[in-house]
């Protein structure tokens, strides 16, 4: 069984590598359930509907050019591509044990100031709606 520490996940948003600013990331793949129950059935019957996945990310804020704040602000209100790999290396090798997930996300919310108090790192927690299906690949480039 291949297990790994979840401490080196790779994330690119709009081609910008933001991996070093992530403290938590969750890609949740879900589909709508469409009821297809007909007369005479004794239980509800459901079919797969449209995909309605989300990407939740906790960032350490950085407002420098091509970092978290600038990347998200430039993409605000648009859909951009996100690339995710469970283990980011140098170079990152996409394989059956390190798949590449590709999805379009709507940057529909920002927390530019974030949270934290005196002595804390400035951080932001955001959940983005996926505007495409999540593509899974065992080859390709991160």
pLDDT digits (tens, 9 = 90+) for 10-46: 999 999 999 999 999 999 999 999 999 999 999 999 9
pLDDT digits (tens, 9 = 90+) for 92-128: 999 999 999 999 999 999 987 877 788 888 899 999 9
Phi, psi of 113 (to 5 degrees): -90, -35
DSSP 121: P
Phi, psi of 102 (to 5 degrees): -125, 130
Decide if 134 contacts 114 (C-beta within 8 A): no
């Amino acid at each position: 069984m291949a297990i790994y520490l979840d401490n080196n996940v790779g994330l690119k948003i709009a081609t910008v590598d933001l991996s070093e600013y992530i403290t938590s990331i969750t890609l949740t793949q879900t589909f709508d359930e469409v009821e297809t129950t007909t007369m005479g059935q004794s239980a509800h019957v459901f079919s797969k509907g449209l995909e309605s996945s989300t990407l939740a990310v906790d960032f350490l804020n950085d407002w420098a050019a091509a970092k978290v704040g600038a990347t998200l602000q430039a993409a605000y209100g648009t859909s951009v591509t996100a690339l995710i790999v469970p283990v980011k290396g140098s170079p990152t090798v996409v394989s059956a044990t390190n798949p590449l997930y590709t999805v379009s996300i709507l940057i529909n919310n920002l927390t530019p100031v974030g949270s934290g108090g005196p002595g804390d790192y400035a951080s932001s927690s955001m959940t983005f709606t996926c505007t495409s299906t999540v593509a899974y690949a065992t080859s390709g480039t991160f």
